[in-house]
Amino acid sequence: MKFRQARFEEPLIFELSRSGAHGFEFPRLEPELKRSLEEALNEIPEELRRRDLNLPELSELDVVRHFTRLSEMNYSITTGMYPLGSCTMKYNPILNEEIASSSKVLQVHPLQPEETVQGCLKLLYDLEQLLKRLTGMDRFSFQPSAGAHGEFLGCLIIREYHRSKGRDRRIMIIPDSAHGTNPASATMAGFEVRVVKSNEYGCVDVDELEKMVDEDVAGIMLTNPNTLGIFEKDIEKIVEIIHGVDGLLYYDGANLNALLGKVRPGDMGFDIIHLNLHKTFSTPHGGGGPGSGPIGVVKRLVDFLPPPLVEYDEENDRYYLDYDRPKSVGRIKMFHGNFSVLVKTYAYLLRMGGDGLKKVAETSVLASNYLLRKLEKLRGINVPFDPKRPRKHEFVVSLQPLYKETGVRAVDVAKRLLDYGYHAPTIYFPLIVDEAFMIEPTETESKREIDGFYEALKNVLNEAYRDPEKVKNAPYNTAIGRVDEVRASHPRTMIPSWRIYRRRMKS
């Protein structure tokens, strides 16, 4: 697919402003109401009054056209494929969005009396039962707003578990291939992180793990399959080692898409899990939200979950919120989580059913391995860590050979892919792979789309050998050209984004 992104000489909204233009006219106030309002305003001290709002003046049509043009310069899952490894950027069915946009969802408030929101509480209760069956956990809290938020709550629960036994364990073990949020969450919860290295197969080095584990270890945070897309084949031994010192195993659920309906983290021996509902269970995400990262725990950790939990009174046939949780680590968010995402998750699970969820896992793994076997034959690519072993829903290749032979780096290839109409894959992660290129096709992409991505990447690699400088200066067809990533992100040298935009448009 050859794709050219929309580009406009689009001014800033302040530059479109013209004196006297307006898009909405408020009705005139009744004299009595106007007098009351003036009296109220006069009570505000002069120094606290805002005089000049400095807002742009535009007609409604000007505003609509401006933001429509900006939207056409954007990229979304409805535009094309998102092969972002570790993100599971799958397509979310429109029906799920319509359900979550229902007035029955939008017009409820978490402070309403319980008897007026029985349907909402039933949905939360039933969703918890489904997630328990799917993961092998005993209870869930829906409070966390996203995966890292769930990790933080999980780490607090691990800390409180050990404190309840009269000990202050300080060490959290995390693999060198872990998501960056794992060590950050553990550190925020007060733990000291010890990093366990990967072996030649891309899995946790069990021999090194055994040497690291002592009575000061609180637990381990694992992603399984890991960020290389490889299933931890020694998981039973890892569980034995950690549980041997009464440590806890935390499951980072970012990669659960590969295991749906196939194996449950609870059956593997994990004690805590967070689920990225916005990944595995199909809610559009990115740009800061919407997310949801509920935490599931085994029976011995239920008392530490934050209040409230949704309970069902069978005798009176009513659902209620249980706030009586004296051993809880406390709330980490107001109310009961991102309800609209929970509604979409519930709809997704009911529509897919058990057989459908298994097919999700099978298709995502099939898509991943199909693309990997095509890419490994291309010049400039190698497959690190046991290259012949099948991956799960995602995989990581290295563009180190391309860099050595042409000077073209993974970031250059990612930028050039934008000119072909594909969102760039995840790059330089995990850190244990040089010039890492992390790809996750997801089960919602067709073979035709995956083949198109393959052809685009093949063309970029061939171009890198023919004309490396062209690839190094990509992209060319996007609304904004190549930016200086350092200046664009560093707070001390950051220049306003609109200046970058204007400069690139002029060039």
Which domains occur in the chain, in start order?
13-72 (no CATH), 108-351 (3.40.640.10), 357-506 (3.90.1150.10)
Asked if the model's pLDDT at residue 230 lies above 70, the reply is: yes
Query: Quick one: angle between helices 447-466 and 410-418, nearest 10?
Result: 120
Q: What percent of the chain has pLDDT over 90?
A: 78
Q: Confidence band (pLDDT; 50, 70, 90) for 428?
A: very high
Q: Confidence band (pLDDT; 50, 70, 90) for 46?
A: confident
Q: Confidence band (pLDDT; 50, 70, 90) for 10?
A: confident
**What span, in angstroms and rounded, lies between the C-alpha atoms of 257 and 272?**
17
| pLDDT for position 507 | 43
Task: Report the DSSP beta bridge partners of residue 483.
Answer: none
Q: Confidence band (pLDDT; 50, 70, 90) for 182?
A: very high
| pLDDT for position 499 | 46
| pLDDT for position 408 | 98
Amino acid at 169: R
**What span, in angstroms and rounded, lies between the C-alpha atoms of 151 and 149?**
5
Asked if the model's pLDDT at residue 480 lies above 60, the reply is: yes
Q: Calculate the alpha carbon distances from 476 to 45, 63, 64, 233, 407 in Å.
A: 54, 28, 27, 44, 19
Asked if the model's pLDDT at residue 57 lies above 60, the reply is: yes
Q: Confidence band (pLDDT; 50, 70, 90) for 285?
A: confident
- Taking residues 320-334, report their average pLDDT: 95
The encoded tokens of residue 317 equal 């046939």
Asked if the model's pLDDT at residue 278 lies above 60, the reply is: yes
| pLDDT for position 490 | 65
The full length of the chain comes to: 507
The encoded tokens of residue 412 equal 């250059």
User: Which DSSP letter does residue 92 get?
Assistant: P
The encoded tokens of residue 370 equal 């199909």
Give CA torsion, residues 181, 187, 192, 196, to 10 deg.
0
| pLDDT for position 8 | 73
Q: Confidence band (pLDDT; 50, 70, 90) for 495?
A: very low
Asked if the model's pLDDT at residue 487 lies above 60, the reply is: yes
| pLDDT for position 501 | 41
Q: What percent of the chain has pLDDT over 70?
A: 94
Let me know if 482 is exposed, middle or buried by CB neighbors in 10 A (0-12, 13-18, 19+).
middle
- Taking residues 86-108, report their average pLDDT: 92
Q: Confidence band (pLDDT; 50, 70, 90) for 26?
A: confident
| pLDDT for position 2 | 55
Asked if the model's pLDDT at residue 93 lies above 50, the reply is: yes
Query: Quick one: angle between helices 339-375 and 118-135, nearest 10?
Result: 30
Q: Confidence band (pLDDT; 50, 70, 90) for 3?
A: low
Asked if the model's pLDDT at residue 496 lies above 60, the reply is: no
Q: Confidence band (pLDDT; 50, 70, 90) for 432?
A: very high
Asked if the model's pLDDT at residue 5 lies above 90, the reply is: no
- Taking residues 391-401, report their average pLDDT: 98
| pLDDT for position 287 | 63
Q: Confidence band (pLDDT; 50, 70, 90) for 173?
A: very high
